[in-house]
Structure 1
Amino acid sequence: MSGFLKSGDVISGREGTAFMTIDGRNVPMFWLKNIEATVELIKTEVPVLGKRMNQQKVTGANGSGSMLIHKVTSEFAAIGINYLKSGTIPEITIKVTNDDPNSSIGRQSTLISGVIFDSVPIAKLDIESETLDEDVSFTFSDADLLDQFSQPTLG
């Protein structure tokens, strides 16, 4: 293989957008500092005749994620308090788009569905912090890749 990856095609972590849909209401996630969603494959060990090493078979998956946010929204407090009062959790999706205009590979958009937060912050003060941030972890039950990066042109 000849050629090399052009530095301009490395995606900037600051270029992109994120939106959360809560029961059909679209909420721009401008307060987001970072987000990561991961699919963990569930494997079963399979011993086979004639092999000394066991093999693995994928039998399912779990979706989980985390985000760090600036504390400038009451969306999470409203979800938690609404659950306390009504016993209902809203239907939530998160769409994350990586879109670096300096890169030739285009953009990637991922839709994360069936989002349920592990805990929701409802109040916070911190005298040792110049700004307030909150860690929010979640699980999800489905995901779709709406847009995919193209292959980079080698230099």
Structure 2
Amino acid sequence: MSLDSTKVISGSFGKCYHDGEWMTNITNVELTAEISKEEIKRAGTRTIGHKVTTITYSGTISGYKVTNTLAKKIAQVTNDSNKSFVTEIIANIDDPDAPEGKTKVRIKGVQFDSIPILGFEAGAIIEEEYPFTASGYEYL
């Protein structure tokens, strides 16, 4: 059986939502779970076993700079009297040619790692990257 190329999922049909609004400027979303393991010595063998001990979720959203709204929300952490900005992001892929690959995920407990304050290059469209950690996710 050969690969049906129309079934390959296109990222062009991905969307990112924050506070119920489609973030039309976001062109890339990534979430990864890093699994940490401890080595376990086992009697009677030279082979080391492994025990899962922790999972860390991290990711990035990136895209074109349109406003400072998200950066200002993240920046509230710089005021010692404000709480940290913790939020959720909903991301989905809905390629009409690949319905089996339809995916919608709620990314929970999102905390951003940096604040994109200012950056530009003459003659270039400004893009921003928002790395983050998260407390979990769920498929919707």
TM-score, shorter chain, exceeding 0.5 = yes
Identify which of 59, 69, 86 aligns with 2:63: 69
Asked if the contact 2:16–2:29 (Cα under 8 Å) also holds between the matched residues in 1, the reply is no
- Residues 1-80 of structure 1: pairs in structure 2 closer than 5 A: 3-21=1-19, 26-80=20-74
Partner of 1:149: none
Q: CA deviation at 1:16?
A: 2.5
CA RMSD, Structure 1 to Structure 2 (Å): 1.6
Q: CA deviation at 1:122?
A: 2.0
Residue deviations 1:38-86, cap 9 Å, x none? 0001101001012212111111200000122211121232113333234
TM-score by length of 2: 0.89
Q: Which runs of 5+ in 2 are unaligned?
A: none
Measure the CA separation in 1 of the matches of 2:74 and 2:95: 34
TM-score by length of 1: 0.81
Partner of 1:100: 95
- Matched residue SS, 1:122: coil
Measure the CA separation in 2 of the matches of 1:55 and 1:41: 15
- For this pair of structures, how many residues does the alignment match? 139
Q: Which runs of 5+ in 1 are unaligned?
A: 147-155
- Residues 63-142 of structure 1: pairs in structure 2 closer than 5 A: 63-85=57-79, 86-105=81-100, 107-127=102-122, 129-142=123-136
Q: CA deviation at 1:33?
A: 1.7
Q: Equivalent pairs: percent with the same residue? A: 32
Q: CA deviation at 1:6?
A: 1.4
